[in-house]
A and B are shown apart, each in its own frame.
Chain A
Amino acid sequence: MGRVFFFIGEGLRALRRSAAPGLASIVTVCITVLLLGVLIPVLQTTNGKTNQVRDQVGLRVFLNDVNGQQAPADQVSALRAKLAAIPHVKSVQFVDKNQALGILGDQLKQENREDITAQLPGSHNPLPASFNVTPDDLSNLPAVRNAITPPGASGQPSPIDPLISDIGDSRDDARKITGATTAIRWVLGVVAALLLVASLLLVANTIRLSIYARRREVEVMRLVGATNWFIRWPFMVEGLVCGLVGAGIAIGFLFLGKQVIVDPLANNFNLLNSGHTIGFANLALVLLCVAMGVSAMGSGLTLRRFLRI
Chain B
Amino acid sequence: MRLAASHPMARRQTSDLLRTRPAKTQRRPEHLTEQRTRPPIVEMRKVTKVYPGGHVGLERVSLRVDRGEFVFLVGPTGCGKTTLIKTLIRELEPTEGEVLIAGRDISALSNKKVPQLRRRIGTVFQDYKLLPSRNVYDNVAYALQVIGTSRSEIRRKVPDALRLVGLADKVKNFPDQLSGGEQQRLSVARAFVNHPPLLLADEPTGNLDPNTSIGIMQVLYRINRTGTTVVVVTHDREMVDKMRRRVIALDSGRVVRDQVAGSYTSDDESTREFALRLREEMGVEGEEPRY
**A residues within 8 Å of B by Cβ?**
2-3, 6, 17, 216-217, 219-228, 230-231, 309
How far, in whole Å, are A271 and B116 apart by their CA atoms in the complex?
62
Interface flags for B128-155 (1: CB within 8 Å of A; 0: not) read 0111010000000011011110110000
Which residue of chain B lies nearest to A9 when distances are taken between CB atoms in the complex? B145
How far, in whole Å, are A227 and B115 apart by their CA atoms in the complex?
6
Instruction: Give the interface size class of chain B.
Output: 20 to 34
Contact B89 A223 (CB under 8 A): yes
Contact A224 B131 (CB under 8 A): no
B-chain residues with CB within 8 Å of residue A309 when the two chains form the complex = 90, 111, 114
Which residue of chain A lies nearest to B130 when distances are taken between CB atoms in the complex? A220
- Residue of A3, A17, A223, A225 near B129 (CB, 8 A) is A223
Contact B142 A224 (CB under 8 A): yes
Which residue of chain A lies nearest to B127 when distances are taken between CB atoms in the complex? A216
Contact A221 B146 (CB under 8 A): yes
B-chain residues with CB within 8 Å of residue A220 when the two chains form the complex = 129-131, 142
Contact B119 A224 (CB under 8 A): yes
Contact B190 A2 (CB under 8 A): no
Minimal beta-carbon separation of B62 from chain A (angstroms): 25
Minimal beta-carbon separation of B120 from chain A (angstroms): 8
B118 within 8 A of A: yes
Given contacts A3-B148, A17-B133, 10 further A-B contacts (CB under 8 A): A216-B129, A220-B129, A220-B130, A221-B146, A224-B146, A224-B190, A225-B120, A225-B147, A230-B148, A231-B146
How far, in whole Å, are A147 and B54 apart by their CA atoms in the complex?
79
B123 within 8 A of A: yes
Evaluate whether A225 and B151 lie within 8 angstroms (CB atoms) in the complex, with A216-B129, A219-B129, A309-B90 already known. no
A-B contact pairs, 23 of them (CB 8 A): A2-B151, A217-B131, A220-B142, A221-B146, A222-B115, A223-B89, A223-B118, A223-B123, A224-B118, A224-B142, A224-B143, A224-B147, A225-B115, A225-B117, A225-B118, A225-B119, A225-B120, A226-B146, A226-B147, A227-B115, A230-B148, A231-B146, A309-B114
How far, in whole Å, are A222 and B129 apart by their CA atoms in the complex?
12
Contact B150 A2 (CB under 8 A): yes
How far, in whole Å, are A217 and B133 apart by their CA atoms in the complex?
10
Contact B145 A6 (CB under 8 A): yes
A-chain residues with CB within 8 Å of residue B146 when the two chains form the complex = 221, 224-226, 230-231
Minimal beta-carbon separation of B259 from chain A (angstroms): 31
Instruction: Select the residue from A220, A223, A224, A230 with max chain B CB neighbours within 10 A.
Output: A224
- Residue of B116, B130, B131, B150 near A225 (CB, 8 A) is B116
A-chain residues with CB within 8 Å of residue B190 when the two chains form the complex = 224
Which residue of chain B lies nearest to A219 when distances are taken between CB atoms in the complex? B129
How far, in whole Å, are A27 and B114 apart by their CA atoms in the complex?
38
Minimal beta-carbon separation of A267 from chain B (angstroms): 56
B-chain residues with CB within 8 Å of residue A2 when the two chains form the complex = 150-151
How far, in whole Å, are A216 and B187 apart by their CA atoms in the complex?
14
How far, in whole Å, are A223 and B119 apart by their CA atoms in the complex?
8
Instruction: Select the residue from A3, A6, A17, A220 with max chain B CB neighbours within 10 A.
Output: A220
Minimal beta-carbon separation of A20 from chain B (angstroms): 15
How far, in whole Å, are A224 and B89 apart by their CA atoms in the complex?
10
How far, in whole Å, are A216 and B129 apart by their CA atoms in the complex?
7
Minimal beta-carbon separation of B33 from chain A (angstroms): 29
How far, in whole Å, are A258 and B145 apart by their CA atoms in the complex?
47
A-chain residues with CB within 8 Å of residue B115 when the two chains form the complex = 222, 225-228
Minimal beta-carbon separation of A210 from chain B (angstroms): 13
How far, in whole Å, are A300 and B202 apart by their CA atoms in the complex?
32
How far, in whole Å, are A230 and B133 apart by their CA atoms in the complex?
19
Which residue of chain A lies nearest to B143 when distances are taken between CB atoms in the complex? A224
Minimal beta-carbon separation of A94 from chain B (angstroms): 74
A-chain residues with CB within 8 Å of residue B119 when the two chains form the complex = 224-225
Minimal beta-carbon separation of B162 from chain A (angstroms): 16
